[in-house]
Amino acid sequence: MTRIQSPRGTFDVLPEDAARRELLEGHAKRVLGAAGYRRIETPAFEATELFARGVGQATDIVQKEMYTFSDAGGRSLTLRPEGTAPVCRAYIEHGMHKLPQPVKLWYLSSFFRAEAPQKGRYRQFWQVGAEAIGSAEPETDAELIVLLSELLEAIGVRARLRLSSLGTPETRTEYREELRAFLRAELTLTGELELNPLRAFDRADPATRAVMERAPRLLDRLAPEDAEHFAEVQRLLDGAGVPYEIDSTLVRGLDYYTRTVFEFTSDELGAQSGVGGGGRYDRLIEQLEGPPTAACGWAAGVERMLLAAGELPTAPPVVDLFVALAEPEAAPQGFQLARKARQAGLQTQLELSRRSLKGQLKHADRLGARYVAIVAGARAASLKEMESGEQQELDPDQVIPSILRGSRLA
């Protein structure tokens, strides 16, 4: 029999990794919470239709990357590949348009995409995301961008911000036609580029790149009100002191964007340089049969942020007290003492392996325990201060008060 391993493109979050993730989560909670964003979590799977309609039939995600399956009732379900469509579904389903707008939400969830695994690209990965639903104003776009920039700064990620505008879907349709015609004249178009010619800006081969240098740009085709919205976002970012580059080639892999799009990239990451990004999606809620509602949001990859952050200071676990048993019969007293010590706020571990007393002391030392209480029965205990090596006999009831007093064993 072969040993069972974790599926390709997935990874285990080991305790050391969990500590770094908790730190990141703490920063996300602080940065987003301070601005009034509240946590939301949606199910790991949704009706497939949500992503087909929400993310867009022509996207890589829907075409190639979804984990789709049927349940016992023959309904098609999909492991969520992204968070915006589910949050919009929840906004509609819970009538959140009745709340004061915009409704500001954030999440930290896992997502699933059947991509070719490599460093920074996995088949199950985590994202921190933020969405502000119910405002069309450029202040919302700018606030969201500033918040992501603050989160990245808080964890020590240095990233470049690229910014663009995609205008309205109508402008884009016209532009797509113009670009398709331009590309047909210049290149032999594959199926993917026929379907979505904007993807040509993502191509790495020199021939396509050279052609794309000369290609018409969507930014030059924006309607006046879209251009004004974009200019206002830039003014607000200038005011906030957040540097950015206008990048008219910025193509995001999701179809629902309108107007502002942005992406933070880090040079620390190699090929998968995108740390996080997002934009405005003013038509999505309506597309999902909700009331017409403008919205904006972003998502940033947890693994990418942690890769780009490098070392994050995480404290080793503290052990205030290790409860050792002089003999196995003392287990009930030891068990009680450990429970009471935890209730009193002490980080307390109990001997769980029936080691010899010598073995228990060695183990406590390896754990870095500050104190060891050796419980001998209902009446007798001794308390050892590990750093000084001093030891004192005392009543079991006195162990916790003695530690809380900062123990004066001497």
Site residues for ligand AMP per CB under 6 A: 82, 113, 115, 120-122, 125, 127, 253, 274-277, 299-301, 303-304
Tokens representing 283 are: 């038509």
* Smallest distance from ligand AMP to CB 185, Å: 31
We find the least distance from the C-beta atom of residue 198 to ligand AMP, in angstroms, to be 15
Burial of 286 per CB tally in 10 Å (0-12, 13-18, 19+): middle
Q: Which is nearer to ligand AMP, 55 or 222 (CB)?
A: 55
Asked whether the beta carbons of 334 and 347 are under 8 A apart, the reply is no
Q: Which residue, 3 or 8, has its beta carbon nearer to ligand AMP? A: 8
For ligand AMP, give the closer residue by CB, 172 or 304. 304
- Rounded to an integer, what distance in angstroms lies between the CA atom of residue 40 and that of residue 83? 10
Nearer to ligand AMP, 127 or 208 (CB): 127
Rg (CA), the chain: 28
Provide the minimum distance between the beta carbon of 117 and ligand AMP in the complex, in angstroms, as a whole number: 8
In the bound state with ligand AMP, the residue whose beta carbon lies nearer, of 185 and 271, is 271
* Environment class of 392 (CB within 10 Å of its CB; exposed 0-12, middle 13-18, buried 19+): middle
How far the first Cα of the chain sits from its last, in Å, is 59
Q: Nearest to ligand AMP by Cβ — which residue?
A: 301
**Quick count: other Cβ atoms within 10 Å of Cβ 133?**
28
In degrees and rounded to multiples of 5, residue 360 shows phi and psi of: -65, -40
CB of 410 to ligand AMP, least distance (A): 55
Place of tokens 């809620």: 285
Q: Beta strands of 214-288 (E only): which ranges?
A: 245-246, 258-265, 274-280
Asked, as a colleague might, if the bond just before 15 is cis with ω within 30 of 0, I would say: no
State the nearest-atom distance from the C-beta of 204 to ligand AMP, in Å: 18
- Relative orientation angle of helices 302-309 and 15-34, to the nearest 10 degrees: 100
Nearer to ligand AMP, 54 or 253 (CB): 253
Nearer to ligand AMP, 167 or 277 (CB): 277
Return the H-helix or E-strand segment holding 11: none
User: Pairing relation of β-strands 258-265 and 160-165?
Assistant: antiparallel
Classified as helix, coil or strand, 378 is coil
Report in angstroms how near the CB of residue 65 gets to ligand AMP at its nearest. Answer: 8
Kindly state the smallest distance separating residue 216's Cβ from ligand AMP, in Å.
25
CA distance 252 to 276: 11
Q: How far apart are CA 111 and CA 79, in angstroms?
A: 7
In angstroms, give the least distance from the CB of 83 to ligand AMP. Answer: 8
Q: Do the Cβ atoms of 297 and 32 come closer than 8 Å? A: no
Rank residues 80 and 363 by Cβ distance to ligand AMP and give the closer one: 80
Smallest distance from the beta carbon of 45 to ligand AMP, in angstroms? Answer: 17
Q: Which is nearer to ligand AMP, 109 or 402 (CB)?
A: 109
| Residue 118: CB minimum distance to ligand AMP, A | 9
Residue 63 or 388: the one with the smaller Cβ distance to ligand AMP is 63
Sheet holding 381-385, edge to edge: 348-350, 321-325, 371-375, 381-385, 391-394
Q: Which two tokens stand for residue 9?
A: 């493109």
